[in-house]
A and B are shown apart, each in its own frame.
Chain A
Amino acid sequence: MILTDELVISGQEISFWFGEGELRKQILFEVDLQIQGGEIVLLTGPSGSGKTTLLTLIAGLRTMQSGSLRVLGMQLSGASSSLLTQLRRRIGFIFQAHNLLPYLSALQNVQLMFELHPDVSAVEGRQRATEMLERVGLGHRKDYAVSRLSGGQRQRVAIARALVTKPELVLADEPTAALDGTSGREVVNLLRSLAVDQGSPILMVTHDARVLDIADRIMEMQDGRVGAPTH
């Protein structure tokens, strides 16, 4: 765990543009944001307001153009791509589509994450992956091929994959968008309870009004700007 009094994410005056020359278009306007250890923060806002763009900047998937952004103690402005790769290994990702490897079983998909953590032995990795699948309620399906799982089950495997290495931060982009109300709710509850257990802070982008209640804090985005925090 990181020091609790240090901010997990701390961004000042982040601006971002897509395109070049004539087509250059500003998407983010001097965004400030801060997230503390253990916090669960939701980012909502209309489509096209720049939520995903902000998330990819925090994940080190896009190069910072202007402003300052520290994530897990690392300054992302001017960071090399290998440093950004290092950073991403400390983050758990949950995507809108599950993005599991179709030729691997549920267990193999989760176990794969330990490839990024060579200090964990194969035996221990397998054991932790199995436990994590049990905790998301898929212990009995762990050897199933991904194609034989339902959408909700696949997203639960994705959660297990994101959390199995005890990441210091969880980033999720609309993890419930492809799911029906009930499984969406289940997935979010699961994510919350696991993250709370591990003390991992979560930054989750969502449109889904039904899940807003899991948040410690909700940030509203509008036309590339973050509005006043609501509780």
Chain B
Amino acid sequence: MSQKIRLSWLQLSHEKAKLFAAIAGVMVSVVLMWMQLGLMNALFSSAVMFHDRLSADLVVVHSQYESILRSRSFSARLLYRLRGSEFVEDVVPVYIGTTDWKNPSTGGRKSIQVYGIETQKLTLSALGVNEHRQGLREEDTFLFDRLARPGFGEVPQFIADGQEPEVEINRRRMRAIGVTELGSSFGVDGNVITSEANFLRLFSQRRSGVIDLGLISLSEGAEPAVVRPQLQAALGKEVQVLTREEFRSLEIDYWQKATPIGVIFSAGTVVGFFIGFIVVYQILYTDVTNHLPQFATMKAMGFSGRYLVRVVLGQSFWLAVLGYVPGTIVAGLLYSGLKAATQLPLELSLLRGVALALATLFMCAMSGLLAIRKLSSADPADVF
């Protein structure tokens, strides 16, 4: 095989301009596929940053719940009913609201998502929550999301400098005592975590005991999927009990249906694939055509058709490797640039890396196989 690979390489690299054009084509294709898949994944996973940080075993939501941004409130009394169950260790109510944030530097207003949650218990494994349990017990304190989009002022910098800046939220003066990380997403530019009591002070129109989520932690040994039907039965039809995974996929499903993101980025990925496919096909086709007399000569001298096919596929292999590696490096650079600008969770994940490497190999091999059909017109009898 090594000799064929070498022959492929020599044939491919013989014309430098063509080689670079082909590599550039594969690179563009690889970068496009990385960007499309990465952005799609980042957008969807940014919508479940909060979900991913919950430490509950089961989550209770209203029966008509659609998304964390479109939650419907229900009575906490339903939730408290579960405290009697032998499977349930504890329940925690969560309040969610959206309100105005006044930028302390510019005075500009921006909408912010506020989570009111019992932080004395281990409910949220987000950055900062544990360290600031004590501080969050005080009146009008909160944690600010340092992954928020720009426009909320320099709150994280003040906190880093050891200050506790005061900010006007919903016309109420609140004190930022620390930072957390939840990140921006669809319709959410930034987040605030505060205690249940502070939430109710901030949203004077919201009544205590009318909650948006109920978190359930189960007793030792209780399986979420097993006890869920029993808890559901105990709560009736007004609410639904979800496992954490269900809660998470409900959110992603919502955004998949509500936005054309899935379709757009999938289409973008396919376009990326075909750009590479067409470029490689064009290059290999002209290459096979130009070398037809030599291929015919080799056939006449006793080289098998399979040998020649492998020479062409060897070229596909080289193009795949030489396009994939720099393409992935470029994608990585673009990822880190975009990540800094948008806070989107863009990662060169290993799984996607392997999938894209296979897609690139497949793309180049298919182009090669299509170009090879031209080989059959190399009639060795015409060499003489």
Contacts and interface: CB of A to CB of B under 8 A. Distances in A.
A104 B294 CA distance: 11
A116 B301 contact: yes
Interface in A54-70: 55-56, 59, 61-62
Nearest to B15: A103
Given A99-B297, A101-B294, A102-B14, A116 B384 contact: no
B134 interface: no
A112 B135 CA distance: 78
Nearest to A174: B384
Interface string A86-106: 111111010111011111100
B380 interface: yes
Interface in B366-384: 380-381, 383-384
Interface string A41-53: 0000000000010
A202 B381 CA distance: 19
A108 interface: yes
A134 interface: no
Contacts, number: 62
B304 A85 contact: yes
B45 to A, nearest CB: 48
Nearest to A111: B3
Nearest to B307: A115
Name, among A85, A87, A89, A113, the residue most crowded by chain B CB atoms within 10 Å (CB to CB). A85
A56 B307 CA distance: 22
Contact of B297 (A85, A90, A95, A116): A95
Name, among B11, B13, B381, the residue most crowded by chain A CB atoms within 10 Å (CB to CB). B381
Given A104-B10, A108-B10, A52 B300 contact: no
A168 interface: no
A115 B294 contact: no
B132 to A, nearest CB: 68
B14 A56 contact: no
A3 to B, nearest CB: 22
B384 A55 contact: yes
14 contacts: A59-B300, A62-B381, A89-B302, A90-B302, A96-B384, A99-B383, A101-B294, A102-B294, A103-B14, A104-B10, A115-B3, A115-B303, A115-B307, A173-B384
